[in-house]
Amino acid sequence: MSENIIKNTHIYARKRHNEKGFYEFQTLNQHLNNVSYFASLFAKDINAQNLSKLIAILHDIGKASLNFQNYLIQDVGKRGDVIHALQGAIFSFFQDKKYGLLKEILSIIIYGHHNNLFDCCSLDGREVFFERVANRTLEDLSYEEVINNLDIDQIQNLLSQANDDLLNIINSISQIYKSKESAFFALGLLVKYFYSCLIDADRLDAYLFEIGEEYKEDDVDWSKLIDIFETNLAKLQSNSPISRIRQEISQKCLQAANKATGIYQLSVPTGGGKTYSSLRFALHHCKKYNKKRIIYVIPYLSIIEQTSKNIRSILDLKEQNDIILEHHSNIVLYDDDEKSELKKLSASRWDKPIIITTMVQFLESVMSSRAGKLRKLHNMANTVIIFDEIQSLPIKTIHIFNEIISFLSNICNSTILLCTATQPLLSGAPRNNLLLQEDCNLIGNTEEAFKKLNRTQLKICNEKDIDELSNFALEQAKQKGNCLVIMNTKKYARDLYNKIKEFNNEFKVFHLSTAMCSVHRFEVLNDIINSLNNKEKIICITTQLIEAGVDISFNCVIRSLAGLDSIAQAAGRCNRHGESPNPQDVYVVPLKNENLQNLKDIEIGKEVSARVIRENPDANLLSQDTIDKYYQYYFFNRKGEMDYVTKDGYIYNMASLNITGRGNYANARGKDYPYMLSQAFYTADTLFSVIDNKTESVVVYYKDSSSLINKLINRPKGLINKEILLTLRELSNYSVSL
């Protein structure tokens, strides 16, 4: 919107110090025009530029008052004393009745744009956001003064256009979604999407004004990245049987890049080159359909280093580059507070061509109600999102995850790729809410590839205690030259490591665990790889962190009994590159007195695996038929958990229709809940976490961390610059979760 929405062109939005120490001011019209331009640009991917523009135009109209101008220009009062976020919300709410849903969306987004989205309706039905807006006293808001400063004709015209945008999206939602619950979940995500557009636009304009720069949107040169990728991929290929199979899978992924935008599954055996094959698909798909970026989501923080290293290597990128952004939750650099200068500099907008993140970061960002976390949501539109090792998705999040990726694909034009060697039956979840493509298998039938890549044979052992397992591991290591032992718990891994170290002089013994910081783990992993390459006699004791994304190959693997998906991943660390022409042994060992009460997913997976083994004693446990049977049992036993159960109810329900809140409202007042939006955004956020146990990230003293900590502590008070941010980023590699 190029015209001035504020009649008085000398009303200001913010100020900054210039190089000479004097104040420079940004007019409110400049700010609203800038934010509306950015917000409409961000909403282009869902064809809702007018709606996003309207939200941006109205979000700060409360600054068009004498009280705010006195505060800004003459420093009268303190920050926060003069309310300016509510006027736009109230103005929106009292528009014509024909704009019913639009009014609700406008008001809740504008009202919460400084902090977070509120609950539309509380779970007990007592607190209703829209009643709070309708009943807000106007005396302290200079409301009439603000409204008199607006060009109402412009706003009315934009209201009509914005409503057309919204009706088109609602029509799409009604056609796409099979159930009312799914449609309302999508509606809640739509609110978050527009909230994201506003937050990013508002903070981006504030940041650019502060540093005196203009916005530059960089187009990604996918052709250049593809040329580098293809050149380096060709160098990795050989004429070995394993390499030929990987090339065949990779070529199929290249051909599949022409497929339409949608949700696909990529089932590739462990060791089948999944990372590079999926990346190849993504690069070519982005070029063909002009996608904005690739988002690579991995299950565990512990493997983000190797994934990043592999992708940088194939693309000839240095550790510090402008192409890849690593974003995970190991260290939180800032609070959700507009006063934080650190936030302005370090908040990730996810605007790089390639984002590497974790499932925790992905899900907790989308399920958040907070401005800082939701800021990146709009940058998930018109992208390719690769979910690696999707079988690791926590059972409690399945219905929520299905809704999120279905929304991102069907409403936001993103292509989703679900990658694994053991494809879980997500589409068979009770809500049937995963909107897969009809031909959802990206590369067709891979059964033959699984057979060709079968380099191991599973052997089920009798139950053993730690002493017996220690002796068994040493015995196998002596026969095979090396051995990898994967345990379910850090305690058992540590106990077994100490036991083998105590009674062994022949083998180098290594230990890997998430109790180590990533720098320590990476060093130990490199030592293990070097020892294997040098044909040294080694035994490695580890937790399941080694099962995903770690390219390593042992002659023998022992896995404590767990879910078949974990057993399959463990088997992928044995004879990985076909070093032996004969299948090598992978032993599955039930442990005596194993305490898994705090690891429910592992405990239930172990029980289901035992059932499958018991019922199918002669079956190939790694065949797709057996894996499907495992997931059928696993999902059936836990179907009641997939809506994410909490003491306060189901989070899925809170993020959708909020039947609980609507019902309590009706019971208390004797009438139906009168509004369209009832989602409990804030409550769902506070109750949602991907990982149950509450942990705190702490920095450990290991090697260079001491000097980095001192650099941070001894910096001039309040100094935040690029060097400090890089120091904080480096320190995240020296942290562990307690």
| pLDDT one-digit tens code per residue, 50-60 | 999 999 999 99
* Whether the predicted pLDDT of 159 surpasses 60: yes
pLDDT value of position 240: 83
What's the mean pLDDT in 93-119? Answer: 96
Listed residue (176, 173, 201) closest to 55, CA to CA: 201
Arithmetic mean of pLDDT, 187-210? 95
- Determine the pLDDT at residue 549: 65
Contact 488, 502 (CB under 8 A): no
Tell me: pLDDT of 337 over 50.
no
Residues 668-684 pLDDT 10s: 999 999 999 999 999 99
Span 87-116, mean pLDDT?
96
pLDDT (0 to 100) of residue 622: 83
Percent of the chain clearing pLDDT 70 (strictly above): 94
Per-residue pLDDT at 446:
65
19-38: average pLDDT? 91
Q: Quick check: 579 and 595 in contact, CB under 8 A?
A: no
Q: How confident is the model at residue 512 (pLDDT cuts 50, 70, 90)?
A: very high
What is the C-alpha to C-alpha distance for residues 624 and 631, in angstroms, rounded to an integer? 10
pLDDT of residue 681: 98
152, pLDDT greater than 80: yes
374-412 burial code (b ≥16 CB/10 A, e <16): bbbbbbbbbbbbbbbbbbbbbbbbbbbbbbbbbbbbbbb
Would you say residue 331 has pLDDT above 60? no
- Checking DSSP bridges between strand 294-298 and strand 12-17, what pairing results, if any? unpaired
Q: Which amino acid is at 390?
A: I
In this predicted structure, the answer to whether residue 341 has a pLDDT above a threshold of 70 is no
- Can you tell me the distance from the alpha carbon of 209 to that of 8, in angstroms, rounded to the nearest whole number? 21
Task: Tell me if residue 612 falls in helix, strand or coil.
Answer: helix
Are 415 and 436 in contact by the 8 Å Cβ rule? The answer is no
pLDDT (average), residues 449-477: 89
Q: Is 247:238 a contact under the CB 8 Å cutoff?
A: no
| Residue 333 pLDDT > 60 | no
Q: How many CB atoms lie within 10 A of CB 100?
A: 14
pLDDT of residue 227: 98
- Give, for 591, the enclosing helix (H) or strand (E): none
Highest mean pLDDT pick, 163-167, 206-210, 265-269, 696-700: 163-167
Q: Determine the 3-state secondary structure of 560 from DSSP.
A: strand
pLDDT at 546: 86
List, for residues 523-574, the tens digit of each pLDDT value: 999 999 999 999 999 999 999 888 766 778 999 999 999 999 999 989 989 9
Report d(CA 343, CA 339) in Å as an integer.
8
158 vs 81 pLDDT, higher one: 158
Output the pLDDT for position 439.
87
DSSP code for 141: G
Q: What percent of the chain has pLDDT over 90?
A: 65
> Do residues 662 and 121 lie in contact, with contact meaning Cβ atoms separated by under 8 Å?
yes
Instruction: For residue 365, count CB atoms less than 10 angstroms from its CB and return exposed for 0-12, middle for 13-18, buried for 19 or more.
Output: buried
A 10 A CB-CB count for 216 gives 6
Burial tier of 83 (Cβ tally within 10 Å: 0-12, 13-18, 19+): middle
- Give CA–CA dist 182/177, Å, rounded: 6
Q: Which 3-state string (H, E, C) describes 370-406?
A: EHHHHCCHHHHCCCEEEECCHHHCCHHHHHHHHHHHH
In angstroms, the CA 63 to CA 52 distance is: 20
Alpha carbon 431 to its chain centroid, in Å, reads 22
CA angle 285, 289, 295 (to 5 degrees): 55
Predicted pLDDT at 339: 39
Taking all residues of the chain, what is their mean pLDDT, rounded to a whole number? 90
**Rg for the chain, CA atoms, rounded:** 28
Place of tokens 């849903």: 101
Mean pLDDT (whole number) for 182-209:
96
**How does residue 722 score in pLDDT terms, banded at 50, 70 and 90?**
low
Residue 62, exposed/middle/buried by CB under 10 A (0-12, 13-18, 19+)?
A: buried
Average pLDDT over residues 634-659: 94
Say how far apart CA 233 and CA 84 lie, in whole Å.
55
pLDDT of residue 449: 67
Q: Which residue has the tokens 């990982």?
A: 691
Alpha-carbon gap, residue 108 to 120, rounded angstroms: 8
Question: Of 168-177, 667-676, 695-704, where does mean pLDDT reach its minimum?
Answer: 695-704
**What is the distance between the alpha carbons of residues 553 and 484, in angstroms, rounded to a whole number?**
9
DSSP state of 481: S
pTM (2 d.p.):
0.89
Instruction: Dump pLDDT digits (tens) for 244-253.
Output: 888 999 999 9
Q: How many residues does the chain have?
A: 738
Give pLDDT tens digits for 220-229. Answer: 999 999 999 9
Cα–Cα–Cα angle for 340, 342, 345, nearest 5°? 125
User: What does the pLDDT read at residue 343?
Assistant: 36
Confidence of residue 697 (pLDDT cuts 50, 70, 90): confident
| Confidence check: pLDDT of 346 > 50 | no
Query: Of 168-172, 327-331, 424-428, 518-522, where does mean pLDDT reach its minimum?
Result: 327-331
